[in-house]
């Protein structure tokens, strides 16, 4: 008889003492109580902890730590109280080992794949202060004082204030503090996510790691703002923008954005490419490691001078534009029109004449692109965390590229997508993880798939 049915599972509110034996995809510790699986965020393999059960489902439950009874011998002291760095209690070498193992586990267990080469994970150049973009939220402390920081884990209404965000540069932190000080002086209040009242929602600070420029964007509910006073106060921003967001959801995307002062776009450089990035365009948040990720993608493409390349979900076109000088043609497809405009401008700025970019939904526009451009020799895809829908995978198979380079930010969605492609006649040749986000469970990797002959 199955253990989960033989033993009554713990109920919500129960307190148990458990031993954590591994880490799940997403970063939570995995413990077992009489065979029943519990996911426990904030724990490390080897931790013995007293936990309180939250969700209790038939197959598994979720719990929070009440007391760390006996810390794991691998546990180290955290550097900062930072909700965005949950893995800082593990040595960095252990973080790399776990991430590499999780990529292999996803491919073998979820995708039922084998025969591929798992190449060694590429470690991060910097373990702290590596992010070029931070999205902060406004809130209030117990005394009603305005604070700016990150949502507390599992408590979306509580904001943890940060004096020094160790994932951001000192300059980025200073720019944030200038904005917060001005907001307090103006008497502005935080947007209440429960009632929809209040004004200040988010603050986005973006940095050109190569240019040294800072782009600061204040996100508020619709209303009035003394933009002249704001511009005078935030002296560290090379570009200062204001977005009015009417949506009830927690998002910095969309809304109405206006330029308050300085430059509308952020200058940056990736390898030989000179970039200008608009406020809401996607760009990898670790510039130094993005260079290594993209170099790996170029290597996996194995480009020849007569190859036609498709770059799907191309964003501002960075990966494709790095490939273009080695290929005959580059065709990029992206649904966000501002990002497409950035890609076209980047191609022009860098004098890359064999690149074309179009705005469109990959699911709907790929057939039309093939009719216009011809079949690709190499297809690069860099989808969001949810991976590719089955329909998009079918469309990719229809284009029949010789090689597919899949840049993934989630190995658990890469695995089923790779399995579909293998079932359609491709071979998963090699995969390499790249650590873009130290101190966190997030994993990026690049996979190479080659069409089998015959």
CB atoms within 10 A of CB 59: 9
What would the mean pLDDT of 120-137 be, rounded to a whole number? 97
Q: Which domains does the chain have, with CATH numbers?
A: 3-75 (2.40.50.140), 95-126+286-451 (3.40.50.150), 133-269 (2.40.50.1070)
Nearest to 28 by CA among 3, 61, 74: 61
Q: Whole-angstrom Cα distance, residue 322 to residue 362?
A: 21
**146-152 and 133-140 strand pairing:** antiparallel
Tens-place pLDDT, residues 136-186: 999 999 899 999 999 887 676 789 898 899 999 999 999 999 999 999 999
What would the mean pLDDT of 348-360 be, rounded to a whole number? 96
- Give the confidence band of 6 by pLDDT, cuts at 50, 70, 90: low
- Give the confidence band of 253 by pLDDT, cuts at 50, 70, 90: confident
Q: Whole-angstrom Cα distance, residue 334 to residue 337?
A: 7
Q: Do residues 439 and 85 touch, judged by C-beta distance below 8 A?
A: yes
Q: Whole-angstrom Cα distance, residue 251 to residue 245?
A: 8
What would the mean pLDDT of 205-225 be, rounded to a whole number? 96
- Give the confidence band of 1 by pLDDT, cuts at 50, 70, 90: very low
| pLDDT tops 90 at residue 246 | no
| pLDDT tops 70 at residue 7 | no
- Give the confidence band of 106 by pLDDT, cuts at 50, 70, 90: very high
Q: Do residues 407 and 446 touch, judged by C-beta distance below 8 A?
A: yes
Percent of the chain with pLDDT strictly greater than 70 = 98
What would the mean pLDDT of 351-369 be, rounded to a whole number? 95
What would the mean pLDDT of 55-66 be, rounded to a whole number? 92
| pLDDT tops 50 at residue 259 | yes
Q: Whole-angstrom Cα distance, residue 35 to residue 48?
A: 16
* Residue 360 burial (10 A CB sphere; 0-12, 13-18, 19+): middle
The CA-CA-CA angle for residues 77, 412, 100, to 5°, reads: 50
- Give the confidence band of 454 by pLDDT, cuts at 50, 70, 90: low
What would the mean pLDDT of 188-214 be, rounded to a whole number? 93
Q: Tell me phi and psi for residue 371, to 5 degrees.
A: -60, -35
What is the dihedral sign for C-alpha 149, 151, 153, 155?
A: positive
- Residue 3 pLDDT: 45
Top mean-pLDDT range of 6-10, 77-81, 373-377: 373-377
Tens-place pLDDT, residues 423-444: 999 999 999 999 999 999 999 9
| pLDDT tops 80 at residue 272 | yes
What would the mean pLDDT of 329-351 be, rounded to a whole number? 94
Any idea which of 110-119, 165-174, 273-282 has the lowest mean pLDDT?
Answer: 273-282
What residue spans of 302-403 are helical by DSSP H? 318-323, 337-349, 362-373, 390-399
In the annotation, is 409 catalytic?
A: yes
- Residue 151 pLDDT: 87
The residue from 148, 183, 409, 445 that is catalytic is 409
């Amino acid at each position: 008889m199955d253990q989960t049915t033989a033993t009554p599972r713990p109920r919500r509110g129960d307190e148990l003492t458990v031993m954590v034996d591994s880490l799940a995809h997403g970063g939570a510790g995995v413990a077992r109580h009489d065979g029943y699986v519990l996911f426990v965020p904030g724990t490390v393999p080897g931790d013995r902890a007293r936990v309180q059960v939250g969700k209790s489902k038939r197959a598994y439950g979720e719990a929070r730590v009440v007391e760390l009874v006996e810390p794991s011998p691998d546990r180290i002291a955290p550097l900062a109280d930072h909700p965005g760095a949950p893995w800082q209690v593990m040595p960095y070498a252990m973080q790399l080992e776990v991430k590499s193992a999780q990529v292999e586990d996803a491919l073998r267990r979820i995708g039922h794949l084998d025969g591929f080469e798992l190449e060694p994970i590429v470690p991060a150049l910097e373990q702290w202060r590596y992010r070029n973009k931070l999205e902060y939220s406004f809130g209030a402390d117990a005394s009603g004082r305005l604070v700016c920081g990150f949502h507390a884990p599992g408590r979306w209404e509580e904001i943890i204030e940060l004096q020094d965000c160790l994932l951001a540069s000192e300059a980025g932190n200073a720019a944030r503090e200038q904005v917060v000080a001005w907001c307090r002086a103006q008497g502005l209040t935080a947007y209440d996510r429960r009632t929809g009242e209040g004004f200040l929602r988010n603050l986005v600070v973006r940095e050109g790691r190569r240019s040294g420029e800072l782009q600061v964007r204040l996100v508020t509910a619709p209303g009035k703002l003394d933009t002249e006073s704001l511009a005078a106060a935030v002296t560290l921003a090379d570009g200062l923008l204001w977005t009015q967001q009417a949506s009830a959801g927690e998002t910095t995307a969309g809304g109405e954005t206006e330029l308050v002062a300085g430059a509308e776009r952020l200058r940056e450089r990736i390898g030989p490419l000179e970039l200008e990035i608009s406020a809401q365009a996607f760009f990898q948040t670790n510039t130094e490691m993005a260079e290594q990720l993209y170099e790996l993608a170029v290597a996996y493409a194995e480009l020849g001078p007569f190859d036609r390349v498709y770059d799907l979900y191309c964003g501002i076109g960075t990966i494709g534009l790095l490939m273009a000088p080695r290929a005959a043609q580059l065709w990029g497809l992206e649904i966000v029109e501002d990002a497409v405009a950035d890609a076209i401008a980047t191609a022009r700025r860098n004098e890359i004449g064999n690149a074309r970019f179009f705005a469109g939904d990959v699911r709907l526009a790929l057939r039309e692109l093939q009719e216009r451009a011809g079949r690709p020799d190499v297809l690069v895809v860099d989808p969001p965390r949810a991976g590719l829908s089955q329909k998009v995978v079918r469309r990719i198979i229809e284009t029949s590229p010789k090689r597919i380079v899949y840049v993934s930010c989630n190995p658990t969605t890469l695995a089923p997508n790779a399995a579909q492609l293998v079932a359609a006649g491709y071979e998963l040749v090699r995969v390499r993880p790249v650590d873009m986000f130290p101190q966190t469970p997030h994993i990026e990797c690049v996979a190479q798939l080659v069409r089998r002959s015959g």
